[in-house]
Amino acid sequence: MHVLHVVGARPNFMKAAPVLRALGRTGTRQTLVHTGQHYDTNMSEVFLRQLEMPEPDINLGVGSGSHAQQTAHIMARFEPVVLEQAPDLALVYGDVNSTVAAALVCSKLQIPVGHVEAGLRSHDRTMPEEINRLLTDQISEFLFTPSCDADENLRLEGIATAKVHLVGNVMIDTLVRLLPHAEEQHNDGVPERYALVTLHRPSNVDDLHWLREMLLALSDLSHDLTVVFPVHPRTRQRIAALGLQAALANGRLRLLEPRPYLEFLALQRRATLVITDSGGIQEETTFLGVPCLTVRENTERPITTSLGTNVLVGRDIARLRTEVRRILNGGAKRPSQIPLWDGHAAERSAAVILGLKRIEPRPGFSTVIAV
């Protein structure tokens, strides 16, 4: 069996790494395609290195652009690769533009698609990722879900339960494996108590009025608690547009470049609290038992609010302040363990993939597989 993996953006790497390792141990033939959606060293290369991923076999080098441009470029450059490689199965990860673009190409070439991290829904179609999730799940043959709420979402959308495999959270596999290495990291110059912040969603950073309000609130917070803020390239551009960079750098509000995986994991692990709009960080903080305030109106990861440490504060600075105070006064939520977030989700995914049996190839196409 030949499995082709497609990654493109930072959050894909920690999900693909354990699946590559699990399939690698079984001697499965694998090809890794990087679309090049993320291309800065500190958004891509350093992650591949720290996660001990193989060098991508093919890099499509698509870079940035509007959603249509980026998606179209990935599709046009990926199609000849699929035709040449003729894999038996393509695995796509998460919810970025690379995920849906690759899934569309493969499904039209009748290459079965497996979606790792299927079934998550924010029920907010203004989020580009929600569109990517909905479409990818509809055209995937194998849906690997992280939690039972995802299975229920897929059932409600009419997806056959035989296609759905509840395997757990592959991103937590990477966390479990690398946490001991993260513990060895020194976060130089970071005090014992601090708030860790990440913001990059268009809904937060493309609205400059709202972004300004949030940045000023963080600046205020930094008088009580040091704020460590690794800044995504998109957000850095917006802060520059507001002309706020100098005003914000007050010594207790630290604007940093995006951090490598191990260093960021160490920062999360030791943080007093995390303020974020990321998806993955809601899950990682829940696993680590670190209080998390999510600056969004909704989440596609509701299990992190029902069982974990996550609180949705929405677009509400007063609420953000109240929740920060609650945590600092010892009122943080107590997490409970989430089933199947145990470091073995990729092994379960690999077992499903290896349990597939071959059927006759369609003329002109690669071997097609079925359960």
* Binding site residues, ligand UD1, CB under 6 A: 9-11, 37-40, 43, 64, 95-97, 128-129, 200, 232-234
CB of 156 to ligand UD1, least distance (A): 23
Rounded to a whole number of angstroms, the minimum distance from the CB of residue 298 to ligand UD1 is 15
Contact 40, 67 (CB under 8 A): no
Neighbours of 86 (CB within 10 A): 15
Nearer to ligand UD1, 147 or 278 (CB): 278
Distances (CA, A) of 164 to 19, 104, 142, 318: 17, 19, 6, 41
Residue placing its CB nearer to ligand UD1 in the complex, 11 or 291: 11
Q: Residue 131 Cβ, how far from ligand UD1 at the closest point, in Å?
A: 9
- The distance of closest approach from Cβ of residue 56 to ligand UD1 in the complex, given in angstroms and rounded to an integer, is 15
Is residue 336 a contact partner of residue 353, using CB atoms and an 8 Å limit? no
Q: Considering the complex, state which of residue 43 and residue 72 has its C-beta at the smaller distance from ligand UD1.
A: 43
Residue 267 C-beta-side C-alpha neighbours within 13 Å: 26
What is the rounded CA–CA span in Å between residue 248 and residue 256? 12
Catalytic residue chosen out of the listed positions 5, 115, 200, 232 = 200
Nearer to ligand UD1, 199 or 327 (CB): 199
> CA 175 to CA 181: how far, in whole Å?
10
Q: Say how far apart CA 214 and CA 275 lie, in whole Å.
A: 11
Q: Is 314 left (phi over 0), alpha (psi -120 to 50) or beta?
A: left
**Residue 38 appears among annotated catalytic residues:** no
Shortest distance, position 290 Cβ to ligand UD1, whole Å: 19
Smaller CB separation from ligand UD1, 234 or 333: 234
C-beta closer to ligand UD1: residue 200 or 269: 200
Q: How many CA atoms lie within 13 A of 364 on its CB side?
A: 3
Contacts of 156 (CB under 8 A, 6+ apart): none
Residues 253 and 277: beta-carbon distance below 8 Å: no
CB of 52 to ligand UD1, least distance (A): 21
Residues noted as catalytic: 200
